[in-house]
Every structure is written in structure tokens, then in C-alpha cells.
Amino acid sequence: MLPFTPEQFLAVFSDYNQAIWPVQVAAYLLGAFAVILLFFKRREAADPAISGILASMWLWTGIGYHGLWFAAINKAAYLFAASFIIQGCYLFYSGFSRQIHFGVRPGTATWVGMTFIAYAAIVYPLIGTATGHSYPHMPMFGVTPCPVTIFTFGLLLLTTSAVPRWLLVIPFAWSLVGGSAAILLRVPQDWLLLVSGFIAAALIAFRDSWATRAAGKPKSA
């Protein structure tokens, strides 16, 4: 049994979205910039920038949404806030310590990653609007947990180096926690979130394992 009703849940989004406007616009611009940077040739600048954008989304959502707004109806939000802040800090560290490299390369992971990004930014709010959760009573891209998590999985699938496994732990956990809203709170746009962690983790593990084996094979004469 949840400690709040679906109506209270949606009311939090309404109050939150109206209070932070126009941060949602900035989130979309940052998200678009991150995608553009995937094709930027100067990786020494692009990789930390993409990680920084992702980190800022996790930190904002952890502090702003979970800590200051969602906690008003669910005290577990303080735990969620702490986990999102940890994820944001780790994303900053991974990007600026060159542990992760973003980019587009052929393969299923790339197509799925692009699909996740498009879903988080475009399809997610459209489904919300179509099912009666129009703005401001809806989770918005870049500033609320579920779209941020799907977007993060999308970008982690668009990497040219192995993804540090610890970067997947908190997003995977939230895909289950947040994805439960699809069932418990009647938020149909979160159905993809519920399975996104399994899809992303499996594809990343397979892709990175295959790349490691391929790199270890001796070149033919």
C-alpha cells in the first residue's frame, strides 16, 4: 500500500512543474546538446560534457524533485534523493576521469539507445498527454526521475568503451521502483521504464563482452 494516492502523486508534478518553470526548457536544450555531442570529434571535451549533463539531471532530480517535493507525500523520497545524488556524483567522476567514452557505433545497442532517447524526450510526454496526464500533471524530461532514467540508459548504450558496471546499479534499481508506477499509479508511459533496465544491462554486458573478446583476438596476417 502506497502512502499517497494517485491524485496526490500527480499533484506533486503539477506543483513542481509550475514552480521550476522554465527549467524544463533548459533540460530539453541540454538533452539535445548531449545528443549532438555524440557526433563531436573532439572526444576529450565531448565525453565530460555529456557526463556532466547527465549528472546535472540526476542531481537536480534528486535534490529538487525527490528531496524538496516528493518527500512531502512520501518520506522514502529522502532515500531516493540520496541515491540520485550518488548517481549524479558518479557520473561526474566517470566523465571527468575518462572512465566512459560516448559515441555512435554500429550495432543493436546504438539503435536501442537512440530509441530510448527519443522515447524519454518525445514519446513519453505524448503518451502522458494521450492518457490524460497533460502538463503540468506529468513527469517532464530531464527534471523528473523516470524520463531521466530512460534517457540515461539511452546514452549509456551509446558508448564506445566499456561502461563501468556501478553506473548501472542505481538506474536499474530505479527502473523497477519507478516503473512500478505503471501498475500502481496508472502511468502507462512508465511501462518501458519497467523493462528498460533489463534491456540496457543485457545489451551493454553483451556488447562490452563481445568488444573485449574481439580486441583480444590476434590479428590475421
How far apart are alpha carbons 33 and 27 in whole angstroms?
10
d(CA 181, CA 8): 13
Domain ranges of the chain: 6-209
Is the separation of the CB atoms in 156 and 167 below 8 Å?
yes
pLDDT tens, N- to C-terminus, the chain (221 residues): 678 888 999 999 999 999 999 999 999 999 999 999 999 888 888 999 999 999 999 999 999 999 999 999 999 999 999 999 999 999 999 999 999 999 998 889 999 999 999 999 999 999 999 998 889 999 999 999 999 999 999 999 999 989 999 999 999 999 999 988 888 888 899 999 999 999 999 999 999 888 676 655 554 33
**pLDDT score for 175:** 96
C-alpha 42: how far from chain center:
24
Grid cell, residue 133, equals 496526464
Pull the grid cell for residue 153.
Answer: 540508459
Question: Cα–Cα–Cα angle for 157, 84, 71, nearest 5°?
Answer: 140
- Please give the Cα distance from 220 to 213 (Å, whole number): 15
| HSE-up of residue 58 (Cα within 13 Å, Cβ side) | 27
| 3-class state of residue 159 by DSSP | strand
Residue 219 has a pLDDT of 43
